[in-house]
Every structure is written in C-alpha cells, then in structure tokens.
C-alpha cells in the first residue's frame, strides 16, 4: 500500500515536471507576482496604512492561502482529466484504491505548494520580515496543516467533477466565495453580521485566521477552535469523497 | 484445454436507468482456452466483460471467476486476473518503463517487467512517453500491464480496434502466446476474422443476449453449410451439365466464368470430379467458403455495424 503510494507519487512528480509550463505557472508566476507586489507596496510601509490589509502586511498570508486554493483547483483539474481520459478507469482495474490515487496527487501538490511558499518566504524576507515572535517551524507547520485541510475540499470536488471542462468553473464557484469571506480580503469585522456567521462555517476562514495568528506571533493555544475546525473539515471531506468517488 | 470452468456467468442482467444493456447472458470459459464474446458495437460485450472483471455490478445473475465473486472478492481477484480495457489511457507523459514499474509495485507476485517488454517488442521504446507511442505500441504496453502479475485469466476488450493489419497480426500472435503459457483468455471483438483466428470458442452476443456458443468451425458448419466454387473455362453453355452435379443449388454464368453454389462438405469434391470426368480445362478455380461473418449475418439478419 505504502510502496504503491510512494511509487505513484514519485511517478506523478516526474510527470508534472515534464510539463515546463505547468511548473512555471505553479511555482514561478506566484513568486514573480509576489516580488513585484512586494517591491511596490511592501517596501513603502509609510503608505501601507492606506492599502487594504491584504496588500499590506498580510500579503504573505494572502499569498499562502491563494496558492493553496490554486493547488485545490489544479488537483480538481488533474483528477478530472484523468477521469475523462480513462486513466482512472485503467487504474481501477488494479489493486489501487481511490484514496491512494488522490493522496498521491495531494502529496505532489503539497510538495510544489511547499516549494512555492518557501521561495516566497525567502524572496519576500526583505519586504515582509516574519514577526520576530513567530518561529519558522511553527509557521511551516501552520502552512502545511492549513494546506492539507484546504486540499481535502479538493478531494470532494475532484471525486465527482465529470470532465475537465467543468473542473475549473465548479472549483472556482466553490472556492472563490470562500476566499472572499475568509477574512483575507476584507477583515471579518468588516462583514455584515449574517455573512460573518456564514464565514465562520467555512473552513477557509479558519485557515486564514490560524495563519494570520501564527504569522503575527500568536501561539497554537490561542487558535484551538481554528485547529479543531480544520481537522473536522478534513475528516468530513475525506469520508465524503470516499463515499462519492466516481471512476468514470 | 481442460474441462474446468474458470469463468462462470449465469443469467447476467445489467440495466442503465431504463435502458437494458444486458438482457440475459450465460456462458462458461474453460481453463486454457481463448473464449470470445463477439457481436456488433453496442451489443453490450464490454458491459458483460466489465461485470465479469468486477468493474460493474450486475443487477442480477451469478458470476464466478476462479471460484471468486468479482464484486465481493474484488481485492483477492485483482491479484489473479489481468485486464486490458477498451479506450483506456495512461498519463500522457509517463514513460513505458515507469508504467511497468508502477504496475509491478501494485502486486505482491510479478514477472520480470523488462523481460515482458522484450517479449512484446517494446525494449526500444522503454524510455518513451506514453503519448508518443503508436496505437499498436500502446496496446502492446497494455498487454504487458495486463500480464505483469502473472495472471491466471486475462481479459482483453477490443484489443485490435483501430490498428493497421500488420499491428493486428502481431497482436494476434501475442494473444496466442498467452494461451501457450497456460493462461485462459476472455476477449471481446467485433471483427469476425479476429474471432475466427484466435478463439477456441465464441459466444455471439446480440442486443444484450447470448444467441449462440460454440467453436467457430462448428458454428459455420451448423448455420452455413453452403459452399461456392468459382472457375472460368473455354466451354460455353456448360450450364445444363453443371446443374447435374450432386448438391448443386445454383449456377451463374457470365461469359466463360461460372459460379456454382451448393451445399454439403463434399460439394467441392463433386465439382472437381465433374470437371475432370468431362475433361474440362479450367483457367482459375477457387472455392468460396462461408465464414463466421456469414454465420453472424444469418443469425442476426444484418452485418457488422461499425
């Protein structure tokens, strides 16, 4: 089981890097945009108060969440391409289980998300120094934890999206509203009361809140609700996707 | 070939919504034989096959493969069967050796992948991406993947559809060699020539029903006993004499060429004896024998639809 997972993950990593445009889009473009934004905005802290928070000091958190959401969309896209192309069907006639196939793709996404975010942190150090209280380990762990939880949403969407053509709109329709309400674009206090309730039910809100807290040096103990919500989200999504997974 | 059945299907039925794909199918595949499900496209051959492989769940009926239930015992069964699916694909940029290596990692007991690639003539292509392979090379790779776990039963679904004649013949030789290794093969095809060349026995499927099961030869002699002889000679107006040949049913004359139609195993010999007794010099002589396709036309009332 583990041997199959590692083998499949390794093959998928190799297949991914064989498509240079995909690598450039996943890793290169976010880093370049981040650097460009950071250079214009981050380097001028005296003007930062005039800007929405996500373009100011919260830009790294915004970038991290945005990259995680991008990974979900590409996870959904690749699984739907595999489904449409009959690759999943061929894998079905082997002892491989759907969870192994999805997990392998999550590991690939996780790896490239990690590489991208690590590059961002390195490149952005000049403009956005990590709050001195935040440990890099704690921050790394928070990023991994939130990304896995967000990717689990991708598990559910990827389990049912019939064709690649549908993958992008369906994925976006689910994730972008979550992103809008998550507190990364507009702070939670800025939302009308009703929307704030909705926002609190969405996993992305808790992901953003946890990342913002850890980024600004808070301890894990201050964010137990967020951690619990993200674990709950993960468990529900995995259970649901195992139930509804379609091979073709 | 032994008499031990390795696949048993009895009264299989499968519907998709209100469409009945398989009305009722029953057949047995014996150990060591090549058994073909033949019929036109859309006759539900693939549905039957995929129920037997455990990929689809039938609405009704009993299926046993190597004594296992393909639905309940799917994990156990998958280690003992090899499957090639119609219209399946691999990742575009996976290399041939990586696919074989990945498949090897999925089974506890496997054969040597490199040796398999060698036997299937894929050694030169082992480093190529899947998307760059020709149709025949893809199918050979799928055969390699179906054989990697040294299966007891191999399922091949429309293996040569879309291949050119050379590639098709090469694949036929491979399928025959699978049987020679003592394995049982269940295949589907809509090409009657393929069924006639490869299959020890065939089941003719039409509109989700099995309408006949037998060896191709037995089906031909049972349903199409007609024989034809075509020859040309200098003799004119030989029609009257020819009509006295035993078993003859029709004579068609076109100038100096004649087409005789008759019935029975001995009909061709009777024609030859007549020609030699009457010292008739013929310039060509060929026999027209019925094929499985003629049987199919007769049983289903129409030809193979593509």
Put simply, the answer to whether B105 touches A18 (Cβ < 8 Å) is no
Alpha-carbon distance of A30 to A36, in angstroms, equals: 10
A245 CB neighbours in chain B (<8 A) are none
Return the biggest CA–CA distance within chain A: 61
Residue B195, pLDDT > 80, answer yes
Bridge partners of residue B153, in order along the sequence: B81, B184
**Beta carbons within 10 angstroms of residue B86's beta carbon:** 16
Burial call B45-54: b when 16+ CB within 10 Å, e when fewer:
bbbbbbbbbb
Q: Which of B32, B103, B46, B180 is nearest to B172 (CA)?
A: B180
Q: Which of A3, A12, A15, A104 to probe the B interface (max B CBs under 10 A)? A: A15
What is the predicted pLDDT for the residue at A128?
62
Pairing of strands B60-65, B5-16: antiparallel
The residue ranges of every structural domain in chain B are: 5-221, 225-289
pLDDT digits (tens, 9 = 90+) for B75-116: 899 999 999 998 889 999 999 999 999 999 999 999 999 999
What is the predicted pLDDT for the residue at A48?
47
Q: Which tokens hold the place of A204?
A: 């992305």
- What is B225-289's CATH number? 3.30.70.980
Nearest CA in chain A to B74: A95
In this structure, are residues A105 and A155 in contact, taking their beta carbons and an 8 Å threshold?
Answer: no
Roughly how many angstroms between the first and final C-alpha of chain A, as a whole number? 23
User: Which position has the token pair 């003629």?
Assistant: B294
Nearest CA in chain B to A100: B106
Percent of chain B scoring above 70 in pLDDT: 96
What is the predicted pLDDT for the residue at B236?
67
Q: Flag whether residue A18 sits within 8 Å of chain B, measured between CB atoms.
A: yes
Q: Which of B102, B109, B141, B154 to probe the A interface (max A CBs under 10 A)? A: B102
Query: B12 or B164, which is more confident?
Result: B12
What is the predicted pLDDT for the residue at B240?
74
pLDDT digits (tens, 9 = 90+) for B263-272: 888 899 999 9
Q: Flag whether residue A81 sits within 8 Å of chain B, measured between CB atoms.
A: no
So what's the ipTM on this one? 0.81
Q: Which helix (H) or strand (E) holds A119?
A: helix A98-124
Q: Which tokens hold the place of A218?
A: 């808070």
Alpha-carbon distance of B105 to A100, in angstroms, equals: 13
Question: Given strand B209-214, what is the order of strands in its sheet?
Answer: B60-65, B5-16, B19-30, B209-214, B201-206, B34-38, B184-189, B153-157, B81-84
What is the predicted pLDDT for the residue at A137?
84
DSSP letter assigned to residue A188: G
Residue B30: burial class (beta carbons within 10 Å; 0-12, 13-18, 19+):
middle
Nearest CA distance, B124 vs chain A (angstrom): 20
Range B5-221: architecture per CATH: 3-Layer(aba) Sandwich (3.40)
In this structure, are residues A35 and A60 in contact, taking their beta carbons and an 8 Å threshold?
Answer: no
Q: Flag whether residue A87 sits within 8 Å of chain B, measured between CB atoms.
A: yes
Nearest CA in chain B to A18: B93
Nearest CA distance, B291 vs chain A (angstrom): 34
Ordered per-residue pLDDT tens for chain A, 248 residues: 788 999 999 999 999 999 888 888 878 887 787 777 767 765 545 444 555 555 566 777 777 888 888 888 888 989 999 999 889 999 988 999 888 898 899 899 888 888 887 887 777 666 666 555 567 788 888 988 998 898 999 889 998 888 888 888 888 888 888 888 888 777 777 788 888 888 888 898 999 899 888 888 888 888 999 999 999 999 999 899 888 998 88
CA distances (Å), origin B97, targets A5, A231, B110, B126: 18, 39, 15, 5
Put simply, the answer to whether B53 touches A93 (Cβ < 8 Å) is yes
Alpha-carbon distance of B7 to B228, in angstroms, equals: 38
Put simply, the answer to whether A86 touches B129 (Cβ < 8 Å) is no
Q: Flag whether residue A243 sits within 8 Å of chain B, measured between CB atoms.
A: no
């Amino acid at each position: 089981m583990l041997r199959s997972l590692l083998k499949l993950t390794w093959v998928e990593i190799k297949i991914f890097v064989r498509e240079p445009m995909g690598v450039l889009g996943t890793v290169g473009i976010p880093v370049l945009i981040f650097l460009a934004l950071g250079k214009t905005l981050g380097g001028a802290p005296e003007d930062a108060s005039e800007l929405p928070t996500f373009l100011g000091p919260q830009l790294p958190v915004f970038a991290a969440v945005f990259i995680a959401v991008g990974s979900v969309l590409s996870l959904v896209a690749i699984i739907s391409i595999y489904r449409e192309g009959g690759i999943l069907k061929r894998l079905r006639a082997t002892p491989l289980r759907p969870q192994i196939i999805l997990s392998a793709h999550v590991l690939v996404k996780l790896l490239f998300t990690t590489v991208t975010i690590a590059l961002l942190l390195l490149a952005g150090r000049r403009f956005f120094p990590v709050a001195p209280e935040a440990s890099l380990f704690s921050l790394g762990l928070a990023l991994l934890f939130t990304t896995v939880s967000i990717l689990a949403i991708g598990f559910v969407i990827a389990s049912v999206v019939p064709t690649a053509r549908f993958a992008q709109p369906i994925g976006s329709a689910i994730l972008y509203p979550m992103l809008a309400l998550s507190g990364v674009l507009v702070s939670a206090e800025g939302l009308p009361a009703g929307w704030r309730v909705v926002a609190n039910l969405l996993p992305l809100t808790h992901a953003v809140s946890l990342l913002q807290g850890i980024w600004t040096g808070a301890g894990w103990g201050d964010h137990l609700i967020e951690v619990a919500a993200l674990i709950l989200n993960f468990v529900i999504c995995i259970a649901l996707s195992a139930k509804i997974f379609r091979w073709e | 070939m032994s008499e031990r059945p390795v696949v048993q299907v009895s009264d299989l039925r499968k519907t998709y919504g209100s469409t009945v794909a398989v009305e009722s199918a029953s057949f047995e595949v014996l150990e060591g034989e090549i058994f073909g499900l033949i019929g036109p496209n859309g006759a539900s051959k693939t549905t039957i096959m995929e129920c037997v492989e455990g990929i689809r769940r039938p609405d009704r009926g009993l299926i046993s493969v190597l004594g296992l239930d393909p639905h309940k015992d799917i994990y156990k069964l998958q280690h003992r069967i090899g499957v090639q699916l119609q219209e399946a694909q691999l990742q575009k940029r996976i290399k041939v050796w990586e696919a074989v290596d990945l498949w090897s990692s999925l089974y506890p007991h496997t054969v040597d992948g490199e040796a398999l690639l060698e036997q299937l003539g894929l050694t030169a292509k082992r480093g190529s991406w899947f998307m760059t392979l020709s149709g025949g090379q893809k199918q050979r790779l799928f055969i390699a993947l179906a054989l990697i776990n040294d299966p007891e039963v191999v399922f091949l679904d429309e293996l040569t559809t879309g291949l050119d004649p050379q590639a098709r013949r090469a694949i036929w030789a491979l399928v025959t060699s699978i049987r020679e290794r003592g394995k049982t093969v269940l295949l589907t095809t809509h090409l009657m020539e393929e069924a006639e060349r490869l299959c020890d026995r065939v089941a003719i499927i039409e509109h989700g029903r099995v309408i006949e099961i037998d060896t191709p030869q037995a089906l031909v002699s049972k349903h199409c006993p007609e024989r034809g002889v075509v020859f040309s000679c200098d003799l004119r107006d030989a029609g009257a004499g020819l009509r006295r040949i035993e078993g003859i049913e029709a004579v068609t004359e076109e100038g100096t060429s004649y087409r005789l139609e008759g019935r029975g195993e001995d009909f061709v010999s009777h024609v030859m004896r007549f020609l030699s007794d009457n010292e008739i010099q013929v310039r060509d002589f060929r026999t027209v024998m019925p094929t499985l396709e003629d049987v199919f036309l007769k049983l289903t009332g129409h030809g193979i639809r593509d």
